[in-house]
Structure 1
Amino acid sequence: MLENERQDPFEDRLGTALRDAGDGFEADRAALVTAGRARGRRALLRRRAAVVGGVAGVALAGVGGVLVLPADDPAGPERSGTASAASAGDATTAAASFTGDDLLRELKGLLPPGTYGEESARGADHQLGPTAQLVYDDGAGAAAIGMGFARVEPGSAQVRELMACPDHNITPYDDCSSDRLPDGSLLKLYQGYEYPDLRVDTKRWTADLVTAEGQHVSVSEWNSPAEKGAPVSREEPPLSTERLRELVTAGVWREVVDAVPKSRKPPRSAAPRTERPEVSGKSVGDTLAALLPRKLDVVSRGGQESEYAYVVVDDGRGRSLVQINVQHGMADVAGQLYADGETLPDGTRVATRQGPGEKAGSGVVMWTVDTLRPGPEGFRVVISAFNTGDQNKDTTRDAPALTVEQLRTIALSGEWDRLR
């Protein structure tokens, strides 16, 4: 996938907390915002691959000291029976409170017998939101397990994207299902890998539950004692699909989400801001398909909720992936993206790149034409073609099915102006 911005509840809470803290300082806000936005956009340009579920990323260290803790240990912490006090004027009182120790105790009580190490957690009243993570060993090898909790808007585009199984052309995985439960909740069970390019054998299995009330519970597990940077310790993560289902649907986790304080009023930093418009992914895909040369057969197509689409085409010489991103708000990084490119008479900037593919396929090449229309909206159309129908697999032909000149013609077409 090309550059594509996603919303994450954890990041949203972090951003709000940082903005609130910043309200107490005097500074050149315009300069700070401009610099931060440029840095953020540059970071965005380096992001690749789809995000698969999970409220909060869990980065766990090695096994370290391991301690046997029975799930019903009477010495374990008791769940708080009263609501935690909210900070003055910032939050309403929740019906119940969960400390980090409460979350760890509940998690251990729902896991099969085993040993635990490297435990950490945040309670429901933490400004960054509740999480729990530990290293669990059932005797077959240490494995990281993490949980996250958040509120989401039921029926929103965010939920639709979160609960949809990823496209195999974007993210390789072994199995995925997404179903509606009898109570109206959505449940997604996913078995995939930590790295989309499969450069290591770390597996990541997840379960996501979104209730009809907007409670989001996420569980992630690995076949390694850490999400990244630790060797594989077992063939598969410890919890089966059925065990993951039982864990993520446990009623106590809905209580945890309900215990997260709700803001009474938006902080001063949450004043209305101009949001970057998003282009419908379907519109992007339809426009791309209409602009392809007639000699190409479209054998498959797909994309995302917004901005990104792809087609797999075949001209009789093998399959070729063609992907495209259409974005607003990219004017502030024009100097970085098009420094070595050209500027057309109408002010459109164009950069052309030819190099290796982004993922694991052997011998894959990627040809890209990147364009930025003139104007303050920063309207960008960037298209790439590959000599394979799937970036994660080896080449199916010597060169992409579209030449660089054909890619340029598509990217500069006036048809894209209808999406501005």
Structure 2
Amino acid sequence: MGGTTGGARRGRAAVVAVSVALAGTAGAGVVYAGPFDGRSEVTAAAVPGSEAEAERRVVSVLEGLLPEGEVREAPGDGGGAAPGAYAKGAVVLDDGEGPALVSVALGRTDSPALDLVALAGCPDGPGGVGRWGPKGTCTERVLPDGSGLLLVQDRVAPYGERDAEVWSARLIRPDGSMLTATELNAPAAEGAAPTRAVPPLSQERLAELVTAGEWRTLLDSFPRRGGGEVEPGAPSGFALLDTLEPLLPQGMRRFGRAGGTDPAHFARLQVDDGKGEAAVEVTVDHRGTNDTEEPRVEERNGPAPWSGDGVLHRSVTVTRPGGFRVTVTAYNTSRPLLAGPTRSTPPLSPEQLREIAGSGTWDRFR
């Protein structure tokens, strides 16, 4: 593409809607696509077609979403490794204020249920900045469709006054597809001095870029990885939540939903029964094994896998004859992966979990 001049590339005026602010979390990381905290695995895979073709497609969409200015090919791979990315692309944008690198990486997480939280959370610390140092900022949002949006302003070296600014926006959709846009106030990710005071796109413009509908066709073309495949005819995450909520005990306040409008096997509610905030998750699929004529019940409890010290879970799986299964899990924290316990025990007893998972209302998804 090298040396091309961009035409009118006007950004969107639409404001990204926000419904629920994410609770405080811990253990995120920096700005490129891939696992942030070492607990979430994002396996690299090839996008359909050649790597060059994938990059061309990404750059073509990216160019159309940028503001007016000169756009040219980015040096090297435009920002280093992007673990887990199916496709990536980068350009250097000069809007008259100085050349700046803008890159995009697209992929899909292995386990959306886990990675939606682990990859879209700010670390703890004063003002939510944490390891980003005194110059950094980090903002979390949950969009109306259940997608997680993470906005970060940082420096290449957080305590260096002359180092380049690195700003990013990461979107993780409920189906596990993921898009990260990164920009600098320098024309390259390494070894280039700043050419302008700040990167060219504001945080809101970055948010508009990653949530643009133009990315959907490309994101939807990525194959789902093992463990994250959604069966034909699967309900949406919100449909699962709409089924789960009436089954919860009366008086349990709901203050957060992660589900989405896309087909899914998993959804999460954040709840509070007056004894502390907690999370309740449901997974529905046809991958169980039960050759009998009666439902099979499995129970698990104790320390929650992938979670920090003190985080406990109770979980019940009811597998109907033929393999249709429903798993309901309750935690003693509202953020199972990234926050510590917010209460002594999960909000649902084993008996309540068995009743919820065994309810006939789930049969609508069989």
TM-score bracket relative to the smaller structure = 0.3 to 0.5
Max Rg structure: 1
Report the TM-score when normalising by structure 2.
Answer: 0.45
Report the TM-score when normalising by structure 1.
Answer: 0.40
